[in-house]
């Protein structure tokens, strides 16, 4: 039996025992199980429809509290073989859109990342530039950040030579939390701890393979909430002080 299946059976057995169902999974009808993995896929402050009759692990409930995810119990049960539940239709508009932009220094990498985003199933909004002719990075970083800040794009990616200047520009736009990432660790950290919504890359610092790895883990990572939510809230409160 694969390790993943064995681990899920062990978790199910412990949950059954904890909930007083008794008998272990061999004598209990198969029921869907909601785990922390399912909750981590839901946007912060989002909603999760729990299938009717499903078991919710204690850790899943705790993470839902930390991430302020509302559990709506009593939904239609999926096939017993389905253990994860997709985000509900209440996800913000444009949740499948990724805006991308670059200056002349990031143009070639942008074009390659666009193809990769399409392969991952995202709808790409290309904010330019369209050639290697010299342009000013603030124009394109602002275009991407504005779409994210307005909610017209779920996430944004900006590329220039070093990634630093574009990151500075993007962070001037209300509602944007841009992070320059140069490896997988910084990409995951920026999402899990800082709830970053714009990724900034330096084409002169990383190659295509690393860029693809960074983009993938960044888009797959989720904000973990908890103590980090308090800190991000403080970050956004500072922004609001200068909007009044």
What are the pLDDT digits (tens) for 34-91? 887 788 777 666 788 888 888 888 778 877 877 678 888 775 544 333 333 333 233 4
* Res. 228: pLDDT tops 60: yes
pLDDT of residue 17: 55
Query: Are the C-beta atoms of 161 and 107 separated by less than 8 Å?
Result: no
Could you tell me the residue ranges of all domains in the chain? 3-75, 97-238
CA 166 – CA 173 distance, rounded (Å): 12
pLDDT of residue 24: 40
CA 72 – CA 174 distance, rounded (Å): 31
Beta bridge partners of residue 124, listed in sequence order: 98
pLDDT of residue 11: 57
* Minimum mean pLDDT range among 9-18, 63-72, 148-157, 206-215: 9-18
Q: Which residues are catalytic?
A: 193
Please state the rounded mean pLDDT for residues 154-171: 98
Please state the rounded mean pLDDT for residues 185-197: 95
Please state the rounded mean pLDDT for residues 180-189: 95
Higher pLDDT, 47 or 203: 203
Higher pLDDT, 2 or 52: 52
* Res. 164: pLDDT tops 90: yes
* Res. 22: pLDDT tops 50: no
* Res. 29: pLDDT tops 90: no
Please state the rounded mean pLDDT for residues 103-107: 98
Mean pLDDT, the chain, rounded, equals 82
Closest to 124 (Cα-Cα) out of 139, 114, 111: 114
Query: Are the C-beta atoms of 119 and 125 separated by less than 8 Å?
Result: no
Angle between helices 208-220 and 107-119 (to 10 degrees): 50
pLDDT of residue 56: 85
Please state the rounded mean pLDDT for residues 233-241: 92
Please state the rounded mean pLDDT for residues 114-126: 95
For the chain, percent of residues with pLDDT exceeding 90: 57
Angle between helices 184-192 and 208-220 (to 10 degrees): 20
Query: Are the C-beta atoms of 31 and 53 separated by less than 8 Å?
Result: yes
**DSSP category for residue 18:** H
pLDDT of residue 54: 84
What is the CATH T-level fold of the domain 97-238, as seen in this structure? Ribose 5-phosphate Isomerase B; Chain: A, (3.40.1400)
For residue 20, what are the contacts with CB-CB under 8 A and spacing of at least 6? none
For residue 123, what are the contacts with CB-CB under 8 A and spacing of at least 6? 96, 97, 98
pLDDT of residue 57: 83
């Amino acid at each position: 039996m694969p390790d993943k299946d064995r681990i899920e059976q062990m978790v199910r057995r412990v949950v059954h025992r904890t909930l007083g169902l008794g008998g272990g999974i061999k004598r209990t009808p198969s029921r869907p199980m909601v785990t922390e993995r399912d909750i981590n896929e839901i946007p912060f402050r989002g909603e999760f429809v729990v299938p009717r009759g499903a078991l919710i692990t204690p850790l899943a409930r705790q993470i839902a509290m930390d991430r302020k995810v509302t559990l709506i119990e009593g939904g239609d049960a999926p096939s017993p073989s389905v253990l994860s539940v997709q985000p509900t239709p209440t996800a913000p508009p444009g949740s499948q859109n990724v805006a991308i932009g670059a200056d002349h220094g990031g143009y070639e990498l942008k074009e390659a990342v666009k193809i990769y985003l399409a392969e991952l199933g995202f709808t790409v909004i290309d904010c330019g530039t369209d050639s290697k002719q010299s342009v000013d990075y603030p124009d394109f970083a602002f275009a991407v950040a504005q779409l994210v800040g307005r909610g017209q794009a779920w996430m944004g990616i900006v590329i220039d030579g070093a990634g630093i200047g574009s990151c500075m520009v993007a962070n001037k736009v209300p509602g944007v939390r841009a992070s320059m990432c140069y490896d997988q660790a910084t990409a995951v950290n920026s999402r899990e701890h800082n709830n970053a919504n714009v990724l900034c890359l330096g084409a002169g610092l990383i190659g295509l393979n690393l860029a693809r790895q960074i983009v993938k883990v960044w888009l797959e990572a989720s904000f973990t909430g908890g103590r980090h939510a308090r800190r991000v809230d403080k970050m956004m409160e500072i922004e609001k002080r200068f909007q009044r």
